[in-house]
Structure 1
């Protein structure tokens, strides 16, 4: 899921004040033809209305219920236990295969999510500028992920500076193009709901999603690129700034090609419903692509990829300056730049 949409979803509970309440129960009887079911909640049975299409429910299944106005509705399956199981499997394999860095990576990811949920979202919901707090949150995420996972040293500092320089330039470009393209920020259903409640700058929220959404890929390429320069400097301490930069970029070009492709495919996968509209909508292609949902996806994709392209030379230059003359010592044990 794109980060801009995720921010919208996190903001909705903070802005909406619903009167109903949610429950979790287990289906004990189903009458799809009548559109009703019997649900066991806390040892007692409740009648509940099924969705119009009946849903794909089965006896014994745990479901989420919504009660309002004296009625109970079956909204969707209870997916949390399965999600927790999947997350547990991921955490186990990350710790098993990644060892110490895998565990630190998990902790860094968890803390990064806390920054988004408990720092960025509450301030945006209170009327703060999404762009400002997303950038500050990004800085916090970078400090947590880069320094916690890889330690505090010349390599990680070079990666951090290269990432920040890339993010700052992408932010300036995003500001320019969103104004030039006349974006309103209303490119998703979640944004339309936020507009009804008011108090959120939707264009800035879109920009925040563009900038923060590429951070994961950026940190990956900048840390490994800095590690490449460190290894080159240790192999031949006589290499100066220019020679380290040139040799480091020989590897950097491979990074740029592979990761840009990865990021574009990731954005494209998240935009498949929009792409399917191309085959269903009678609007001519030239005018369909001109609509804000399509244009916003293209801008996010291009700016995120541009951030990767810029991060490689920025990081290589900073790392070459930091490691020229063999400064900083040899690469850490078990460090394998790719």
Structure 2
């Protein structure tokens, strides 16, 4: 039967601090406000009827206007039925197609006194409920399995999301140097996550220092090889759109390079925590162990972990551009051409540089851990 672990005072203090910090960051103004919030309202609506007579189908592509009869399900205009329109531009990645019974996110354009609806724009299928259900299910399973550690892991999960949404992304949009800003945010997240899960003890210190060493190496290699690969950051989807939206001052290449060590930082933390935890257990079982022996123990665990983690990033990233590679294979594009394309080279850079960090964090953490855990014995 599951038994909930009694939290220590240090854990409760750290959780309280992080919870307060999360709330403060959540309510920080970013300088970027939603548009037309005064004369518009976002509501959930039910599609009652559709009129597809103005849609032109060319193969699998649909263009034109889909007319919808919708019923508003919440807000001040609840239960009101009205006509809305869904514009199809012929791009499947952007177009939405509705049938009766679908629930939609709809924007109502209102009069100045907000008493009348001027027009209604159907934005997309309504997914908030199922997203909230999935998040709730994840929280239940996490806490049911991991207990108090699951609570701390969930808090670190939410803190990470808040920091990215409220600190990192607005900072990048404001033109702050992407790489230093990203390093500061990653260091903040790494310290919060590791010390929250491992505790403010030697294990936490070893895991933090090991993780930051791996992240620093990944950052250095991203800058070095990013220059050698001669890749522009505009290869990422929607990056160029930012330049045309009034943010021409953004350094897309540095944002792309910062994304390399940001995306690999989670896996780097996993490895450093695995090695730090294993060394902590070995040291607790045998406090007379030498620095060399404990370092060797860390290396042994590191080799086993790295053996599987080296393919982690490859599998994670390959799913994102599998359709692109399938197009090249279907067209019979020579491999040498594929490997030299800028967006393929960008993913190769992303994967290999990130993997370097995963490999190098293991020996660094083992060396740091052996010194920290046995340093008192050495001093004697």
- Check whether TM > 0.5: yes
Indicate the SS of the match to 1:278. helix
**Mapped contact 1:233–1:239 kept (Cα < 8 A):** yes
Separation in structure 2 between the aligned mates of residue 64 and residue 289 of structure 1, nearest angstrom: 41
Larger mean CA deviation between 85-94 and 122-131 belongs to 122-131
Report what 1:123 is aligned to: 171
**Per-residue CA shift, 1:56-101, capped at 9, x if unaligned?**
5332322123568976443320111111110000011111111000
**Per-residue CA shift, 1:302-327, capped at 9, x if unaligned?**
11111110111111110111112787
5+ long unaligned stretches in structure 2: 1-30, 55-65, 111-117
Report what 2:68 is aligned to: 37
Report what 2:257 is aligned to: 207
Q: Does 1:266 align with 2:316?
A: yes
Separation in structure 2 between the aligned mates of residue 293 and residue 45 of structure 1, nearest angstrom: 46
Q: Does 1:49 align with 2:68?
A: no
Match of 2:181 among 133, 138, 147: 133
Report what 2:58 is aligned to: none
Separation in structure 2 between the aligned mates of residue 178 and residue 112 of structure 1, nearest angstrom: 26
Indicate the SS of the match to 1:115. helix
**Mapped contact 2:41–2:109 kept (Cα < 8 A):** no
Report what 2:15 is aligned to: none
Indicate the SS of the match to 2:50. strand
**Mapped contact 1:51–1:75 kept (Cα < 8 A):** no
Separation in structure 1 between the aligned mates of residue 189 and residue 360 of structure 2, nearest angstrom: 19
Indicate the SS of the match to 2:81. strand
5+ long unaligned stretches in structure 1: 1-12, 328-338
Query: Structure 1 residue runs of 4+, over 6 Å off?
Result: 15-20, 67-70
Report what 1:333 is aligned to: none
**Per-residue CA shift, 1:137-168, capped at 9, x if unaligned?**
00110111111122100011011001111111
5 Å-filtered alignment, 1:156-175, equals: 156-175=204-223
Inter-CA distance 292–21: structure 2 relative to 1 (3 Å threshold): farther
Separation in structure 2 between the aligned mates of residue 238 and residue 58 of structure 1, nearest angstrom: 71
Match of 1:152 among 189, 193, 200: 200
Separation in structure 1 between the aligned mates of residue 376 and residue 97 of structure 2, nearest angstrom: 63
Give the CA deviation at 1:239: 2.4
Give the CA deviation at 1:177: 0.8
Give the CA deviation at 1:277: 2.7
Match of 1:65 among 106, 124, 127: 106
Inter-CA distance 301–242: structure 2 relative to 1 (3 Å threshold): same
Separation in structure 2 between the aligned mates of residue 183 and residue 17 of structure 1, nearest angstrom: 34
Give the CA deviation at 1:23: 3.0
Report what 1:78 is aligned to: 126
Separation in structure 2 between the aligned mates of residue 230 and residue 295 of structure 1, nearest angstrom: 40
Give the CA deviation at 1:281: 4.5
Give the CA deviation at 1:285: 2.8
Inter-CA distance 92–313: structure 2 relative to 1 (3 Å threshold): same
Indicate the SS of the match to 1:214. helix
**Mapped contact 2:51–2:68 kept (Cα < 8 A):** yes
Larger Rg: 2
Q: Aligned pairs, how many?
A: 315
**Per-residue CA shift, 1:178-200, capped at 9, x if unaligned?**
11111110112311111223121
TM-score normalised by structure 1 residue count = 0.85
TM-score normalised by structure 2 residue count = 0.76
Report what 1:104 is aligned to: 152
**Mapped contact 1:237–1:326 kept (Cα < 8 A):** no
Indicate the SS of the match to 1:186. helix
User: Which gives a bigger RCO, structure 1 or 2 (Cα 8 Å, sep 6+)?
Assistant: 1
Q: Does 1:295 align with 2:314?
A: no
Report what 1:191 is aligned to: 239
Larger mean CA deviation between 124-133 and 28-37 belongs to 28-37
Inter-CA distance 15–276: structure 2 relative to 1 (3 Å threshold): farther
Report what 1:254 is aligned to: 304
Indicate the SS of the match to 2:68. strand
Inter-CA distance 105–193: structure 2 relative to 1 (3 Å threshold): same
